Structure 1
Amino acid sequence: MDNSELQPIFDFMRKLAPFDSLHEQTIKQCCQELTISYYSKQQKLVNVDSNEPQLYIVRSGAFEVTTQQGELIDRVAEGEYFGFSGMLSGEKIVNQVHILEDALVYHLSAKMFDQLRANSHSFDRFFNQAFAKRLRNQGSLQHSHISTARITHIMSRDLTTITADASIHEAAQLMSKKRLSSLVVVNQDKLCGILTDRDLRNRVLAKGLGGDLLVEQIMTKEPTIIEPNALIFEAMLKMSENNIHHLPVVDQERPIAIITSTDLIRSQSSQPLLLIGQIERQNSLEALIQVSQKIPDLLHNLISSDAKAIEIGRILTSVTDSLTRRLIVLKQKQLGPAPMAFCWLAFGSQGRQDQMAGSDQDSALILEKTPSEQDKCYFKQLSEFVCSALNECGFPFCPGNIMAQNPQWQLTLQQWQQQFSKWVNTPQPSALLNATIFFDMRGIYGELSLFTTLQTTVLNKTKGNDIFLAALSQNALQSTPPLGFFRSFVIERDGSEVKGIDLKHKGNALINDIVRTYALAAGIEEVNTSKRLESLIEKSKIDKEVAMNLLDAWEFIAHKRLTNQGQQFNNTQPVSNYILPDSLSSLVRHQLKDAFKVIHEAQGTIRLKFLRQF
């Protein structure tokens, strides 16, 4: 192009952020590099070549960026851009660009784009922020997916309540007038119960009782509740597990809505819930093995939908929990009822509810009392069946044999309390290194009060226990994030084979270790890492910025780990936790280094906090 053709382009570009922050000579060089295209509305779609990424600069006209399913991500008009996401992420472009109006577009090559980013901090920051916004827009789309949608998106705040001292007659009239199947019962605006049409039928009409009874006499007290920011998926699970059809939504002890099973059915069908429903209906191990073959596809679909890693972990764990419970029930149908109360425990990733591809088993039993030889035989058959069945369903045996089928981990409540006392009161670093997994525990099935009693005992022993916390901190510092001098990555090798960076053990696991130490020091009941951080912030036991950085780092590393596993799945490669830095874009490598830096700094903090006096 000659100068007369370049001048109007230059006049346009120099007023356009972030080009307006560049030197005039740099802008002129860009203008000389630009190519120009005209897009007619009749073309409908821009043919974006994923093999030749470039920055599209809209001179005139309008476009819509959508997912492959047609969901809107962004609208782009004069003076705006598209195409930068692929260059920043280094990933193949899968979104579609629809032509809304006839348009004139300038194209800037990826080479020039990268050069401008490298030479101008403001230019780089502008597109990083635009990329982050685009990711948030895409993330918001996931809320329409049942697995990641929240209660707030389907609940109505038009809540009808009644007081506990009202009569049944008044309650029935109110339900009839408003065509309701339930009423939330309140006392001074706080939830104290729920009254359903089933309660009226079973507790009043069926017994021939009169309408002058008080609501508090027949209502369901202490009903199962859910918070407004919980996942719809969690509401479905709660209804299924408790065999209920109404779920009060409570915010800071005050009811704000009620969710019914009909609301959930209307919202949309759920692949995870359908899978759990299938699990609960199976009556043989063979059938459960067949259903479990759908779990990898579920994981792949969740990864493809770009759901948050923390939510994928909770969903996968819910499936594992359901499978474990169903296997226990099936074996008990054969063996008969247990000879005593017991509780099946889950540890590690299942305990924390952050399972991912390849998670193995970590489990144990709490027994109500010392078992007889006959009792031992019962629990041996039960646990061996469940553990072997889980292995056949795709959940490998624990290499360290921390499983309920191991007699070493079939203990009475008193024996468990003694075992934890030994770990806490006389901590041996080597023994404690293998025992940390036990401090991430959750009751899965059976008499859950056995678990809560044990957990209370453990937290009472760990809270403020300087010697134990020092030993736990030492273990948390045994491994460090893979950063060397000048923030270069430290690559693991197996002989001549380059393995890459272990995102699990050198990333997420280190954050789990740090947060576990803080949580046990504060006596916090939560086991999930993000919930532990939330509780620590709430109780002012950790600096809020430190906690948020750890949470963001955990999510970023886990998300990268999942997307890498998704790519391995697509390429029919063995799924692993390793990733090669060279396979990542420069932006993602930079972000990964920042995440590892957060871990490094947090390790320094716990060293000062828990090891200073030792």
Structure 2
Amino acid sequence: MSEESSIEVQEIEQFLLDCVPFDHLEDALLQRAAKAVKIAYHRQGTTPNLFQEENPRLFIVRSGAFEIRDQNNALVDQVDVGGYFGFPSLLTGHKVTNHCVVLEDGLLYQIDETTFQSLRRENRIFDRFFNQAHAKRLRQAVRFKERNSQLTETVADVISRSPITIHTMASVREAAGKMTEERVSSLLVVTEEGLCGVLTDRDLRSRVVAAGLNFDVPVAEVMTTDPITVAHDAMLFEALMIMSTHNIHHLPVIDLDASGKGQIKGILTATDVIKHQRSEPVYLIGEASRVKDRAGLVQIARDIPTLLRNMIARDARAEEVGRVVTTVTDAITRQLIHQAIEQLGEPPVPFVWLAFGSQGRQEQSAKSDQDNGLLLSNKVKPEHDTYFKALASYVCDGLNECGYVYCPGDIMATTDRWRQPLEKWQACFFRWIDQPSPKALMHSSIFFDMRMIYGEEPLFEELQDSVLERCQGNSIFLASLTHNALQLTPPLSFFKKFVLTRDGEHKNTFDMKLRGVMPVTDIARIYALATGCKEVNTLKRLQQISQGKMLALKDARDLCDAYEFISHLRLEHQGRKMAAGEKPDNYLSPEDVSSLSRHQLKDAFDVVSRSQSGLKLKFTRGMM
């Protein structure tokens, strides 16, 4: 090697030392990488033919800036000094369909496939870095991929204009003039402190004109006060569910900050929703809210497997699938309750229909069995049980006809034990918390994931608040929950090999739900109970907990990513089963997924294992 070449290699080595993961290579490997580097210069505005199928390479930006675009010219990535591209094809062996655009004059280092693969084989950190980088790009592709589907449309995507507001002390005459001028059917009524009401054209007709009021009365006297709102990043189908449940046509949209206060973003109207009623979730939810008999709901429920297959085919995120499918279940449940009340008359005392387990967490996929209960006001009398037993029977029988089979453990509102007044529910929860027997711990994985589906919200909040207050600081209960949760571990050996079922019907597979999804669900539940977090959904629990001191933000994000990846692989597996006309299950063979996915799955399981270790340190304190 000439002196000039030697100096050049040293300069390349020095640059690579400042780049992760090259800075983790042993000296000999770093030198091998530097010697393999080829250098090319590219001018701004050009589109060099870099991606050659017969010669895939890793590209490292030494100077300048580059843009990677797909075959539809959509932006995939922007890369500047120290950034990489080209590695996905080296990992997967797939043909490259992207192209490169030079944004600024620059130098590219290029490493050939043979050298790249040898570095992966001989240095685990190097291998993991590029696998994780590819996983991140895949997640971004899933999240930002354009889909002609309302599955991922948020309320913010749909609201047609910025908020039109009026002060609470303005006159009705001014409000009517503003509606005419702005050509809107509603106004958001505000004070200096924020949103306080909504005034619609219907309010003007029914509360002013029909009542013969003076047009100079203040808006505050005729507006709808304390309006129901929706977050700007909520999914459109969730907003439709709110509008349908409460029979409203104007829904204020807010952007909640960390303190829970909201900045007004606009208003969602029934017209906005109708314009976007093109997707199956919205159709099913809307239909479920309109049908008047059980047979109609059964027909809607028959469409859920098709909806699920379509979402999987569209590569929807697992979290989106869970929310969509559960929202349809919620709509069916609410309509069954409405039908029961129409038959039985108004309830004698306030009540709440409770959902537990996966429906409570909004994480349903393929249809599951029922887990529900009835929370009754403490004013309930023995003679009222005839009414509530009939209501429970109508709803549970209807759910069974819709494909949500009766719970084999009888955790349903038809069971006397799970149809009780508030004080008895509290006594039951307090007993599980204070005396965490094996049966109590089994119940905790179901009942502590509870959500109100229908009924009196203050009644539900009283139960939820009392349970969370009882859990916080109860070290014995939290330690017992942790010990119980650690019985389910990810299927990885000490040497990071998959641990598979050795015999039986599911030989050479592992249970993705039992060994992958549930451990994360358990971790999130324990942290939520320890901190008084009211969220029930696994990802929302982790996100909220990460804002405190109990769980570091990075650890929470890693666990969320691991959970989403495991859940997504599980969904893909179930989608393949359904496409083949088979019954979906949770048993995945590593041979059924790509080499890259196996690497990523091991990394995801490793994150879960480390999170379980952290859970053990926090809550057992020598008790195990």
TM range (shorter): 0.7 to 0.9
What pairs up with 1:392-411 in 2 under 5 angstroms? 392-411=401-420
User: How many angstroms apart in 1 are the aligned matches of 2:376 and 2:288?
Assistant: 26
Instruction: Give the corresponding residue for 1:566.
Output: 575
Change (3 A) 1:514 1:166: same
Q: Which residue matches 2:6?
A: none
Per mean C-alpha deviation after superposition, the further-off stretch among 313-322 and 481-490 is 481-490
The residue type equivalent to 2:313 in the other structure is S
Name the counterpart of 1:212.
Answer: 216
Q: Whole-Å Cα distance in 2 between the matches of residues 548 and 132 of structure 1?
A: 12
Query: Match for residue 3 of structure 1?
Result: none
Matched, 1:340 2:349: yes
Aligned residues: 564
The within-5 A match list for 1:335-484 is: 335-369=344-378, 374-484=383-493
Give the alignment partner of residue 249 of structure 1, picking from 246, 250, 253.
253
Between stretches 187-196 and 573-582, larger displacement belongs to 187-196
1:126-149 per-position Cα deviation (integer Å, ceiling 9, x unaligned): 686366435523431256531112
Once the two structures are overlaid, the 10-residue window that deviates more, 246-255 or 408-417, is 246-255
Q: Which runs of 5+ in 2 are unaligned?
A: 1-18, 23-29, 39-52, 60-66, 79-83, 100-110, 256-260
Counterpart CA distance in 1 for 2:234 and 2:73 is 24
Shift in CA distance, 297/182, structure 1 to aligned 2, threshold 3 Å: same
* Residues 1:202 and 1:437: Cα distance change in structure 2 (over 3 Å): same
Q: 1:343, 1:366 within 8 Å by CA — same for their partners in 2? A: yes
Aligned partner of 1:12 in structure 2 is none
**Matching of residue 520 in structure 1 with residue 529 in structure 2:** yes
Pick from 221, 227, 231: which aligns with 2:225? 221
SS at match of 2:546: helix
Alignment RMSD (CA, Å): 3.8
- With over 3 angstroms needed to count, the CA separation of the structure-2 counterparts of 1:480 and 1:444, relative to structure 1, is same
**8 Å CA contact retained: 1:499, 1:578:** no
Letter in 2 for 1:586: S
- Residue 156 of structure 2 is aligned to residue 147 of structure 1: no
- The equivalent residue for 1:276 is 285
The structure 2 residue matched to 1:593, chosen from 598, 602, 622, is 602
**Separation of aligned partners in 2, 1:552 and 1:515:** 13
Change (3 A) 1:357 1:216: same
TM superposition shift of 1:365: 0.8
> Is 1:383–1:404's contact at 8 Å kept on the other side of the alignment?
yes
Q: In the alignment, residue 294 of structure 2 is paired with which amino acid?
A: L
Give the distance between the partners of 1:486 and 1:374, measured in 2 at CA.
63
Call closer, same or farther: CA 1:96–1:25 in 2, change over 3 Å. Answer: closer
Please list every run of 5 or more consecutive structure 1 residues that lacks an aligned counterpart in the other structure. 1-16, 29-47, 99-107
Whole-Å Cα distance in 1 between the matches of residues 37 and 510 of structure 2? 39
Q: Which residue of 1 aligns with 2:81?
A: none
Aligned to 2:137: 133
Q: 1:567 and 1:229 mapped to 2: Cα distance? A: 31
- 2 CA distance for matches of 1:496 and 1:156? 54
Deviations 1:16-48 (A, max 9, x none): x99x997699799xxxxxxxxxxxxxxxxxxx9
CA distance in 2, matches of 1:196, 1:312: 34
Q: Distance between the aligned counterparts of 1:203 and 1:54, measured in 2?
A: 75
Residue 316 (structure 1) aligned with residue 325 (structure 2): yes
CA distance in 2, matches of 1:309, 1:293: 21
Moved more, 531-540 or 309-318: 531-540
The DSSP-based 3-state class of the residue aligned with 2:349 is: coil
Match of 2:180 among 176, 187, 206: 176
Aligned partner of 2:164 in structure 1 is 160
Query: How much does 1:181 deviate?
Result: 1.3
Letter in 2 for 1:229: D
**1:54-113, Cα deviation, whole Å (9 max, x unpaired):** 96999xxx99746xxx8957599xxxx9998688569x99x9899xxxxxxxxx999999
For 2:460, what is the secondary structure of its paired residue?
helix
1:54, 1:84 within 8 Å by CA — same for their partners in 2?
no
Q: C-alpha distance in 1, partners of 2:394/2:115?
A: 62
Aligned to 1:537: 546
Contact 1:351 1:442 in 2 (8 A): yes
Confirm or deny: 8 A CA contact 2:473 2:530 kept in the other structure.
yes
**TM-score calculated relative to the size of structure 2:** 0.80
User: 1:175–1:21: structure 2 CA closer, same or farther, 3 Å change rule?
Assistant: farther
Identity %: 42
**Amino acid in structure 2 at the alignment position of 1:185:** V
Shift of 1:300: 0.8
3-state DSSP of counterpart to 2:231: coil
Q: What is the TM-score when the length of structure 1 is the normalising length?
A: 0.82
CA 209–54 in structure 1, closer or farther in 2 if over 3 Å, else same: farther
Note if contact 2:36-2:112 (Cα within 8 Å) is conserved in structure 1.
no
Q: Deviations over 1:177-204 (max 9, x none)?
A: 1112111112115111121111111111
C-alpha distance in structure 2 between counterparts of 1:24 and 1:612, whole Å? 49
Partners of 2:391 and 2:161 lie apart in 1 by 46
Equivalent position of 2:519 in the other structure? 510
**Letter matched to residue 522 of structure 1:** T
C-alpha distance in 2 between matches for 1:250 and 1:333: 35
